[in-house]
Amino acid sequence: MAAVGILCGCQQKQTCGKQAFQYNVDKFYDLEILRFDVPEFDQLTLQQKSLIYCLSEAALWGRDILFDQNGRYNLRIRRACEELYLNYPYDQSAEEFAAFERYLKRVWFSNGIHHHYSEDKFLPEFTQDWFVAACEKAGVTYDASILPVMFDPNVMPKRTTAQDGVDLVANSAGNYYGNGVTQAEAEAWYAAHKDNSPEPLWIGLNSQLVKNEKGEIVERVYKVGGLYGEALEHVVFWLREALQYVENDQQRKVLEKLIAFNETGDLKLFNEYCIAWVKDLDSRVDFVNGFTETYSDPLGITGTWESMVNFKDLQATLRAQLISENAQWFEDHSPTDKRFKKEEVKGVSAKVITAAILAGDCYPATPIGINLPNANWIRKEYGSKSVTIDNLMHAYNEAAKGNGFSEEFMIDDDIRAIYEQYGALCNDLHTDLHECVGHGSGKLLPGISKDALKEHASTIEEARADLFGLYYLADPKLVELGLLPNAEAYKAGYYHQLMNGAMTQLVRIEPGKDIEEAHMRNRQLIANWVLEHAQNKEVEIIERDGKHFLQVNDYDGVRRLFGQLLAEIQRITSEGDYPAAKAMVETYAVRVNPDLHKELLERYAKLNLAPYKGFVNPVYTAERDKEGHITNVKIDFTEGYVAQHLRYSKDYSPLPSVN
């Protein structure tokens, strides 16, 4: 119980004296922009603040890379729109300009012209004729090829498609493959270059596949002097600056390996960087920087550029450390088959962090937990780092207070009361379990490739980690460890997870659309499978006064169902059973009940809420003496959404418009 006291105190410390902090910044379409506090920044040493400043600069210089990865026309469109925004010669209060401004805000939010979550292209509410005429009057020059990309709904309609039965490469707008490259050609190239050694290189992680003049598939490698080299030069410069302020030799080694990787593109150096990063457990300041997650590549190979600079929340980390220290216990008591369990769980280091800067695929929308590196052999031999981002979760919670959501969608006052009391804690714990032990649990059988589940790998992996967390959220072990105050608190987490997976996350989907994003598919898969297999009505969706609600009748029974599904998902993963993965995803994760969907959208619309949230960053300013040495780093929270993106495009945009 002492641990709970420490953790509750940690949550409270962020609100003490912070009532005036303004979390809400802007809202447009289905998006809301928030601000996040950076508690305890002022208590860091000058060395740590200086390190954060340099790493933040390195983070911001990669912004153009993600825009270009998300679509080869994105930089051309963003720059034309920004120039028009700054030079529009008419009344900026006119409706056409207001519609144009909303479009540009969306482009910034999504790092391109496709919705950051649904990945559908969003169309302007202004006409092509208005845009052309406005650019002419403002003296804005642009590449005419952007017009059909912006205005024709049939041109590049999907950033990353997961639709079964189509060429995933040819039908995705993402810029991971050159013109004319097909899925079959890309898969054949990857198969021919696959590294089957005990310490394999992640072939394709940092490259674009294109056809040369002979029609042969070749790589364009992301590196200084190669593709995106103009941006990576600046990233490397600031990583070198950061070397002056490292906290220890291991952190220095991490930076040196990352610099060498960016300069050469050598994937062996990337493996060495990942191993060095996993071993750096003592530094308070930490970061992610580079080509990381592979969700946006339709084949799940190439990493998108992202960065997050952070520092350890010393008190809240006790929660994650308790889970990490018991990782072997969780593995041993998992309901999965013994054949699929790790005999020894290595190096699951866990911490709770305070985000200092977000960039690339972590900005404006960001994850609330991270587990890296992604290479299974490194996880097995060296372990992984799992983090929960506490100040971002706190910002979400503060911004959502009193918005009417729970009153509209939770079934009764009893559920609302238990969620009000324990919901935030359960969400934190579920994230910890998901990241700290979920992703690190289980093993592949000998000879099974990490690519065996193909386009369904991300959905299945997220479901596996979510189920691991859900199963153990209700375990008495959490009460024994002092992570939950009593044996009833977990019900808040169970209800919210099932309600969200089966119902309320659908407010993020347009009418008539299926679910394609991996995390959303994962949540619906779990909820729909449990609802279908609840033979004794352990959980059901009921109708009351013309509205549908989730009702849980037997929480213990729900946990048993979570365990059964976890066992099957782990089997699919361990055996690389692609047909079973495909059937699981297509049966439970993709299709949307149109009648329920219509009802939920109507109920949600009355609340005037935005289902997606993103952030503006704080602004860090380094004060220097006459010799150029940093003497102080100031932090400011007043920059607005539009001002921030215009500044980023002015100060951190080195790439040419066509790469």
Q: Which of 255, 259, 248, 241 minimizes the C-alpha distance to 628?
A: 241
User: Which of 12-21, 468-477, 581-590, 640-649 comes out lowest in average pLDDT?
Assistant: 12-21
Q: Which of 652, 644, 507 minimizes the C-alpha distance to 25?
A: 644
Domain count, the chain: 1
Kindly indicate the confidence band of residue 19, based on its pLDDT and cuts at 50, 70 and 90.
Answer: low
Q: Is residue 511 part of a domain?
A: yes
The half-sphere exposure of 277 on its side-chain side, counting CA atoms within 13 A, is: 26
pLDDT tops 60 at residue 600: yes
List the beta strands (DSSP E) in 189-291. Answer: 207-211, 217-221, 285-291
Helix (H), strand (E) counts: the chain: 25, 14
Is the pTM value of this prediction over 0.95? no
Q: What CA–CA distance (Å, rounded) separates 150 from 147?
A: 5
Give 68 or 379, the one with higher predicted confidence: 68
Q: Is residue 184 part of a domain?
A: no
Q: Which domain holds residue 426?
A: 2-35+313-615
Q: Is residue 624 part of a domain?
A: no
Q: What CA–CA distance (Å, rounded) separates 182 from 226?
A: 23
Structure tokens at 340: 């699929």
| CA angle (26 as vertex; 25, 29 as ends), nearest 5 | 155
| pLDDT the model gives residue 110 | 98
pLDDT tops 60 at residue 61: yes
Q: Is residue 392 part of a domain?
A: yes
Phi-psi region of 576 (alpha: psi -120 to 50; beta: other; left: phi over 0): left
* Type of residue at 7: L
Q: What CA–CA distance (Å, rounded) separates 503 from 523?
A: 10
Kindly indicate the confidence band of residue 474, based on its pLDDT and cuts at 50, 70 and 90.
Answer: very high
Question: Coil, helix or strand for 231?
Answer: helix
Provide long-range contacts, Cβ within 8 A and 24+ apart, for 638-647: 640/25, 640/26, 640/616, 641/25, 641/26, 641/33, 641/105, 641/108, 641/616, 642/26, 642/101, 642/105, 644/616, 644/617, 644/619, 645/108, 646/82, 646/85, 646/86
Residues 6+ apart with CB under 8 A from 267: 201, 202, 203, 205, 206, 261
| pLDDT the model gives residue 347 | 59
pLDDT tops 50 at residue 225: yes
pLDDT tops 60 at residue 115: yes
Q: Is residue 156 part of a domain?
A: no
Q: Is residue 287 part of a domain?
A: no
Q: What CA–CA distance (Å, rounded) separates 467 from 406?
A: 23
Kindly indicate the confidence band of residue 1, based on its pLDDT and cuts at 50, 70 and 90.
Answer: very low
pLDDT tops 70 at residue 8: no
Q: What CA–CA distance (Å, rounded) separates 437 from 331?
A: 8
Kindly indicate the confidence band of residue 398, based on its pLDDT and cuts at 50, 70 and 90.
Answer: confident
Q: What pLDDT digit, counting tens, does each position of 89-101 carry?
A: 888 878 999 999 9
pLDDT tops 50 at residue 13: no
Angle between helices 518-533 and 578-588 (to 10 degrees): 80
Q: Which of 180, 178, 167, 168 minimizes the C-alpha distance to 209?
A: 178
What's the rounded mean pLDDT across residues 372-396? 90
List the beta strands (DSSP E) in 361-477. Answer: 369-372, 384-389
Kindly indicate the confidence band of residue 15, based on its pLDDT and cuts at 50, 70 and 90.
Answer: very low
Kindly indicate the confidence band of residue 377, based on its pLDDT and cuts at 50, 70 and 90.
Answer: very high
Q: Is residue 394 part of a domain?
A: yes
Of the chain, the percentage scoring pLDDT greater than 90 comes to 83
| pLDDT the model gives residue 27 | 95
Q: What CA–CA distance (Å, rounded) separates 488 from 478?
A: 11
Q: What pLDDT digit, counting tens, does each position of 611-623 carry?
A: 899 999 999 999 9
Residue spans of alpha helices (H) in 280-315: none
End-to-end CA distance of the chain: 56
Give 400 or 298, the one with higher predicted confidence: 298
Of the chain, the percentage scoring pLDDT greater than 70 comes to 97
Q: Is residue 293 part of a domain?
A: no
Q: What CA–CA distance (Å, rounded) separates 313 from 320?
A: 11
pLDDT tops 80 at residue 400: yes
Q: What CA–CA distance (Å, rounded) separates 352 from 427?
A: 13
Residues 6+ apart with CB under 8 A from 374: 202, 292, 293, 294
Return mean pLDDT, the chain: 93
Q: What pLDDT digit, counting tens, does each position of 545-573 carry?
A: 999 999 999 999 999 999 999 999 999 99
